Structure 1
Amino acid sequence: MKTEIYSTAEEVAAQAAKYIEEKIRAGILEKGQFSLAISGGRTPWEMMKILVKAKLRWEKVNIFQVDEREAPDGHPDRNLTQLFQSLEGSGILTRVNIFPMHTVADDLSAETEEYSKIIHQVTGEGILDLVHLGLGSDGHTASLIPGDPVCEVTDRDIALTEQPYQGRKRITMTYPLINRAKEIVWIVTGKEKAEMLKRLQNQDPGIPAGRINPANSLILADEAASQSN
């Protein structure tokens, strides 16, 4: 698992955007499309604001959500809301293919099955080109929350958390889908992440993030998050 350290969160966002842009270009050149899964968080949205300035064939890019909170459409707690805001004014909203997780459905279990089907239909094999992940100060990633049974799901690519986390239940990609991805890019910023970053680098299975496949993972962190390393 490779780690790159940058001075500030802003530099991390810029480097992540540059790295993902290069991967998108290569992926489209190789097979005509690219599947990108995005998690939430302040630094990732800054990364997206930079990435959308790239002159890419956005109509060939398929964006999926790694996870989503159960909240009304347009609610600020929704990752989708923040994603749309990061793309506003870029001119790509009418070109890029965004596949939202619907968390206001009457049957969220059915929604998890439907989202999994969409991923398989779009990618053709259920393998995402690149998954972006964040790291919580409690060791969670995506909505794979410490102590939640969702962390033990191995027979589904998308699942529901059983307990609310920070007040809301969530839909999340599970380990099987994330670990099949061709590449995983971690964005880790802030001194409150320092302990968990070290445990992630040590592949500590005691935290959800430590169970992500390290073989195809790149960590982009700021100095604050790496202060104990």
Structure 2
Amino acid sequence: MKFHEYPDQEMLAIEVANEIAGDLKTHLLHHDTASLAVAGGTTPGLIFDDLCAADIDWDRVHVMATDERWVPADNARSNAAMIRARLLQNRAASAQFLPFHVLNQQPEDVLAELEDQVEPNLPLSVLLLGMGEDMHTASLFPGADGIEAALAPDAPAFTVMRPDSQPEARISLTARVLDAAIAKHLVIFGNAKRQALERAMALPPENAPIQAVLSEVSVHWAP
């Protein structure tokens, strides 16, 4: 794990966007396509605003979320909606987006379909993760039903999580898929999350799921 500290969130966003763009360019030198999995929520928005203008072959990049709330794409809580609004703009508008939510279906019923869609893009070329103060990442929540299976080394590509702390079901890439990404970036803001990451280092992944994806990750922190 490499820890990078920045004076403010704007500087972090510029630097991380540049690093991700560089990772994608490097991958595309040797592969026909590249896959980019990104966190939802509020943390990555500033990064997306810079990354979407990067001069790379976006039409060869396949973009997906690390996880998705099981809500329609026009719902304010949809990660897909935020990714479309903030990342798939400017030059990045030509990227191929792989949505996870399927209307009028339960998440358990579409796992095989989604795995068929995602497997050709593995291992992930580049991964951008966030983390909650409870040390969850993607939709891998500590203590949630099924977390042990989602953290297992032989887990399938996807898991469905229904944490008590959340109002809807979630679908998430499993720790096996996230940790196997070729280039990994974790972005956290504020002292509370920095302290949570420090606590996670001494806890088992079942209690701190971020622990399962920290191998060779670049951590980017700003106040």
- Provide TM-score, normalisation by structure 1: 0.88
Number of equivalenced pairs: 217
Q: Deviations over 1:149-203 (max 9, x none)?
A: 3321233110110334431210011111112211211001123313212124x36
Query: What runs of 5+ residues in structure 1 fail to find an aligned partner?
Result: 225-229
Q: Which moved more, 1:181-190 or 1:106-115?
A: 106-115
Q: Which residue of 131, 135, 148 corresponds with 1:152?
A: 148
Q: Using the alignment, how far apart are the partners of 1:120 and 1:89 within structure 2?
A: 25
SS of residue paired to 2:43: helix
User: For 2:189 and 2:119, how far apart are their aligned partners in 1?
Assistant: 32
Q: CA offset at residue 139 of structure 1?
A: 0.7
Would the aligned equivalents of 1:68 and 1:103 in 2 still touch at CA under 8 Å?
Answer: no
**Aligned counterparts, 1:149-228, within 5 A:** 149-153=145-149, 154=152, 155-200=155-200, 202=201, 204-205=203-204, 206-212=207-213, 214-222=214-222, 224=223
Alignment of 1:55 with 2:88, yes or no, is no
**What's the TM-score once normalised by structure 2's chain length?**
0.90
Is the contact made by 1:9 and 1:43 (CA closer than 8 Å) also made in structure 2?
Answer: no
CA contact (8 A) 2:135 2:208 kept: yes
Match of 1:130 in 2: 126
Paired residue type of 1:67: D
Q: Percent identity?
A: 24
Tell me what 1:96 maps to. Answer: 95
Whether 2:64 is the aligned partner of 1:64: answer yes
Structure 2, unpaired ranges of 5+: none
Change (3 A) 1:88 1:22: closer
**Rounded Cα–Cα distance in structure 2 between residues aligned with 1:156 and 1:32:** 25
Structure 1 residue 39 corresponds to structure 2 residue 39: yes
Which amino acid in structure 2 is aligned with residue 120 of structure 1? E
Give distance in 2, aligned partners of 1:189 and 1:49.
17
